Structure 1
Amino acid sequence: MGSKILALEWLVFTLSPVEYGATPMSPTLVGMENFSFYLGLTGVLGTLFIHFRKEKETLPAIPFEWMRSPLFYLFILWLFFNGTVAACDGRSHSPALGFFVHPEVPPETGVPQGAPVQIAAIPPEVPQLDQPLMSDDYRRVELFRRLSLYFIGRNDAAHLPQVLGILEKQMLLEKKIEAALVHDGYNPLRIFEARHEIRGILFNHPTRTLALSESTLDRYLGQIARNGTRQSVPYGRVVRAIRNYDLTL
Structure 2
Amino acid sequence: MSLLAGAVVLVTGANGGLGRELVEQALARGAAKVYATARRPQEWSDSRVVPLALDVTNPDSIRTAVTQAQDVTVLINNAGISVESDTFLTLSDEKFREIMETNFFGPVALIRAFAPVLAASGSSAVLNIHSVLSWIALTGAYSASKAGLWSATNSFRQELAPQGTQVTGVHVGYMDTAMAKGVNAPKTSAEEAARKSFDGLEQGDYEVIVDEISAGVKLGLSGPISDLYPALAASTPV
TM-score scaled by structure 1?
Answer: 0.21
Structure of greater Rg: 1
Larger proportion of helix: 1
TM-score, L = length of structure 2: 0.21
